[in-house]
Amino acid sequence: MTTTAKPSSRDRLLDAAAELIYRQGVGTGIDALCKAAGVSKRSMYQLFDGKDDVLAAALARQEPRLTALLVPPPGKPAAPRDRILYVFQRLEEAAASPDYRGCPFLAAQVELKDPGHPASAVAARGKQALTDFFQAEAERAGVAEPGLLARRLAIVYDGASARAGIRSEVLDGLAVSTAALLLDAAGLAAGDAGS
């Protein structure tokens, strides 16, 4: 007989924080967080210095999952253009879900408004990783200004995820086609295989 180990208090807190903060925002109270996790406040304070640290740890824990969701595995697809557009295709797929509330990193940064907040720092690293991915692919493709293209793509990504997250826009090809226009303007046309 196989028994499944019960998640630790820390894991339950981080899972609850990720879910509640994504649905309700960073203003979610400690009482609600502890109740959702089935953990006492005392236990929470034994594990973390406070809510700010829980927020930061919950966001950090989401980073690998979000990367796996958005960034294609090495070599699949192979062409830089296709790899960049893959991100926007995955964004559109995620945004079609009724549970989609936008990019959790962007939402945390917008709500917190303090770049020095521990969760803002984690979110900034997550956002930078996506921009770095865009730049690496643009460099691989040999575009003239890969850093500028990466920043433009990040703006399209953030704008699309925010508008879809607040339900003011149905992406339905809009994010992919807008990113494709930027790639075309940068000289990264369809069929370019990169190096």
Q: Is the pLDDT of residue 193 over 70?
A: no
pLDDT value at 166 more than 50: yes
For the chain, the maximum distance between any two Cα atoms, rounded to a whole number of angstroms, is 61
Displacement of CA 125 from its chain's centroid (Å): 10
Query: Exposure of 171 by Cβ count < 10 A (0-12 exposed, 13-18 middle, 19+ buried)?
Result: buried
Where would I find the H helices in 73-117?
80-95, 104-112
Q: What is the pLDDT of residues 10-19, one digit of tens each?
A: 999 999 999 9
Question: What is the domain partition of the chain in residue ranges?
Answer: 58-185
pLDDT of residue 91: 97
Mean pLDDT for all residues in the chain: 92
Residue 86: pLDDT above 90?
yes
Q: Are 174 and 162 in contact (CB under 8 A)?
A: no
pLDDT, tens digit (0-9, with 9 covering 90-100), for 131-158 = 999 999 999 999 999 999 999 999 999 9
The residue-averaged pLDDT of 41-67 equals 93
Name the DSSP letter for residue 50: S
Which residue in this structure is represented by tokens 């494709």?
180
Identity of residue 145 = E
Backbone angles phi, psi at 187, to 5 degrees: 90, 15
For residue 99, what are its two tokens?
A: 């549970």
Distance CA 151, CA 132 (A): 9
Position 3 scores a pLDDT of 61
Can you give the pTM of this predicted structure?
0.89
* Terminal Cα-to-Cα distance of the chain (whole angstroms): 52
Q: Is the peptide bond before 77 cis (omega within 30 degrees of 0)?
A: yes
Which CATH number describes the domain made up of 58-185?
A: 1.10.357.10
Q: What pLDDT, on the 0 to 100 scale, is given for residue 87?
A: 97
Angular region, 163: left φ>0, alpha ψ -120 to 50, beta rest = alpha
